[in-house]
């Protein structure tokens, strides 16, 4: 062995996933990513993603668990929770007490929610007040086309699903920004203060109704359109859940079309690849489960978030339908023997902002699936920190399947930090590690992923599902 060969053997170098793929894999990658862009276009809210997951699952032979009285090996079921989170399972042939292979992603993304009483008229224009959801840079949401998605109930209880701004002939909406000519004061502010939360107001109309009797003529005209189009009144907003998202579609990025640019890839890129993974599972030994949760971006609270008991309850339901009974000990045994990939995005090193990353331990777009042993902030605060045993086991599963993967942490030490659902899964007494797709411009309206990494994430989840 030459020294060069010996060094190659002894040292570790991150691989580029594109360079490691054969033609067949590349073809599969482009196909997967074309379908993924469609998924992103159809699922811009957690409700739309959950509905899309149901539709895809049913096409793959999954049944609503509520319609099934007993389960056996090979059965495929899903449990939808309040139209915002979903668990899918393929029942394995071995005893469920040996545990489940679980992959968990989230389907909520940073956005602007309408306030409960949003509509007002000012200076001859009608606007909607918003309250941002999740960690956004507010300035990124001005001066671009926005769409309105959500659910609103009419006076007689009819549920109206709003979706305006996605079709080419739909109007779009916008938050205006100040012209540079008059932005002297704004431009000298800190970026956090340049755009204030209370100025994230959506322009929704400007043509006054033809009437003499009313002062707020533009608001009146907008209300008339909303009533004609959707059958709603202003009062109906009080109970509505309406989300404002970018109106543009997912696109290929780069001359070589090596990237995907789209809104909401955190964490729908992992949700989509998790779904594709579980759909590709054939007769697994271990029960395979995919969990798509809501509310991750605001701390995983709520009955549709990871902190909800709904996961344990669904596991109990599966055990009972599989074995005819379920004790607390049964649930504990199943959950503590289970393993989880918390599938969430990582921060890709950005050539424009290299200084926030430490290159040995940063994720690179195009270098495959990223495993994150820990997240958290400062001294790993808030991290569940996966064990060496578990990281080794997962790495082995990926290696054996030829998956290209890398490791990373979120930026330099003390630069910032973040968390995922991993810590809450770990609290259930399960082995868990964060892993997913590196993202550029994370939490922005147009997030970027490398197609090779999307493909490697899919391959990782499938390999994990088939592992023992």
Q: Contact residues for Mn ion (CB under 5 A)? A: 266-267, 344
Q: How far is the CB of 435 from Mn ion (least distance, A)?
A: 12
State the DSSP code for 349.
Answer: P
The residue assigned the tokens 């001066």 is 143
Residue 131's DSSP bridge partners are: 113
For Mn ion, give the closer residue by CB, 48 or 344: 344
State the DSSP code for 66.
Answer: G
For Mn ion, give the closer residue by CB, 109 or 287: 109
For Mn ion, give the closer residue by CB, 75 or 344: 344
Q: How far is the CB of 296 from Mn ion (least distance, A)?
A: 6
d(CA 272, CA 386): 24
Q: How far is the CB of 344 from Mn ion (least distance, A)?
A: 4
**Per-residue three-class SS string for 224-247:** HHHHHHHCCCHHHHHHCEEEEEEC
For Mn ion, give the closer residue by CB, 331 or 370: 370
For Mn ion, give the closer residue by CB, 46 or 266: 266
Helix (H) or strand (E) holding 10: helix 3-10
d(CA 270, CA 293): 12
For Mn ion, give the closer residue by CB, 317 or 344: 344
For Mn ion, give the closer residue by CB, 127 or 422: 422
Q: How far is the CB of 298 from Mn ion (least distance, A)?
A: 10
For Mn ion, give the closer residue by CB, 120 or 133: 133
State the DSSP code for 440.
Answer: B
Residue 417's DSSP bridge partners are: 377
d(CA 318, CA 321): 5
Two structure tokens written together for 154: 């009419």
Contact 451, 410 (CB under 8 A): no
Q: How far is the CB of 448 from Mn ion (least distance, A)?
A: 14
Helix (H) or strand (E) holding 400: helix 388-400
Helix (H) or strand (E) holding 342: strand 339-343
For Mn ion, give the closer residue by CB, 223 or 270: 270
Q: How far is the CB of 254 from Mn ion (least distance, A)?
A: 24
The residue assigned the tokens 């204030």 is 196
The residue assigned the tokens 């009974």 is 325
Q: Which residue is nearest to Mn ion (CB)?
A: 267
Q: How far is the CB of 108 from Mn ion (least distance, A)?
A: 9
The residue assigned the tokens 């008059």 is 182
Contact 141, 177 (CB under 8 A): no
Q: How far is the CB of 249 from Mn ion (least distance, A)?
A: 21
d(CA 417, CA 274): 25
Q: How far is the CB of 323 from Mn ion (least distance, A)?
A: 35
Q: How far is the CB of 436 from Mn ion (least distance, A)?
A: 8
Contact 125, 218 (CB under 8 A): yes
For Mn ion, give the closer residue by CB, 266 or 453: 266
State the DSSP code for 303.
Answer: T
CB atoms within 10 A of CB 110: 23
Question: Please, is 437 exposed, middle or buried when counting C-beta atoms within 10 Å of its C-beta (0-12, 13-18, 19+)?
Answer: buried
């Amino acid at each position: 062995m030459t020294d060069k060969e010996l060094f190659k053997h002894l040292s570790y170098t991150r691989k580029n996933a594109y360079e490691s793929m054969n033609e067949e894999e590349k073809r599969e990658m482009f196909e997967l990513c074309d379908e993924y862009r469609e998924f992103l276009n159809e699922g811009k809210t957690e409700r739309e993603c959950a509905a899309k997951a149901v539709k895809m699952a049913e096409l793959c032979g999954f049944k609503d668990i509520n319609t099934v009285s007993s389960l056996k090996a090979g059965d495929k079921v899903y449990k939808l929770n309040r139209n915002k989170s979903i668990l899918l399972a393929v029942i394995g042939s071995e005893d469920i007490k040996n545990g489940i292979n679980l992959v968990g992603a989230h389907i909520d993304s940073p956005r602007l929610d309408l306030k409960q009483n949003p509509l007002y008229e000012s200076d001859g224009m009608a606007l909607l007040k918003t309250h941002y959801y999740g960690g956004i840079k507010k300035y990124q949401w001005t001066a671009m086309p926005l769409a309105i998605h959500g659910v609103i109930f009419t006076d007689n209880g009819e549920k109206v699903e709003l979706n305006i701004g996605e079709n080419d002939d739909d109007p779009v909406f916008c938050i205006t920004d100040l012209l540079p000519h008059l932005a002297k004061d704004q431009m000298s502010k800190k970026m956090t203060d340049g755009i204030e939360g209370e100025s994230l107001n959506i322009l929704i109309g400007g043509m006054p109704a033809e009437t003499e009797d009313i002062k707020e003529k533009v608001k009146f005209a907008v209300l008339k359109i909303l009533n004609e189009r959707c059958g709603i009144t202003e009062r109906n907003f009080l109970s509505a859940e309406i989300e404002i998202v970018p109106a543009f579609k997912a696109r290929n990025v780069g001359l070589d079309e090596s990237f995907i640019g789209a809104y909401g890839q955190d964490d729908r890129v992992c949700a989509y690849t998790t779904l594709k993974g579980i759909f590709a599972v054939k007769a697994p030994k271990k029960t395979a489960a995919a969990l798509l949760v809501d509310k991750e971006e605001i701390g995983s609270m709520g009955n549709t978030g990871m902190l909800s008991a709904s996961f344990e309850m669904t596991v109990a339901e599966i055990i009972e339908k599989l074995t005819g009974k379920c004790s607390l000990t049964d649930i504990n045994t199943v959950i503590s023997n289970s393993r989880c990939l918390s599938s969430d995005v990582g921060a890709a090193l950005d050539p424009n902002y290299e200084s926030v990353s430490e290159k040995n331990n940063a994720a690179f777009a195009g270098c495959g699936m990223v495993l994150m042993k820990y997240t958290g902030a400062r001294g790993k605060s808030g991290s569940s920190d996966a064990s060496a045993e578990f990281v080794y086991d997962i790495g082995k599963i990926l290696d054996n399947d030829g998956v290209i993967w890398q490791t990373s942490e979120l930026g330099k030490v003390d630069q910032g930090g973040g968390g995922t659902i991993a810590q809450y899964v770990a609290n259930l007494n399960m082995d868990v590690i964060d892993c997913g797709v590196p993202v550029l411009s994370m939490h922005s309206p147009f997030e970027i992923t490398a197609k090779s990494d999307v493909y490697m994430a899919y391959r990782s989840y499938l390999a994990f599902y088939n592992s023992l």
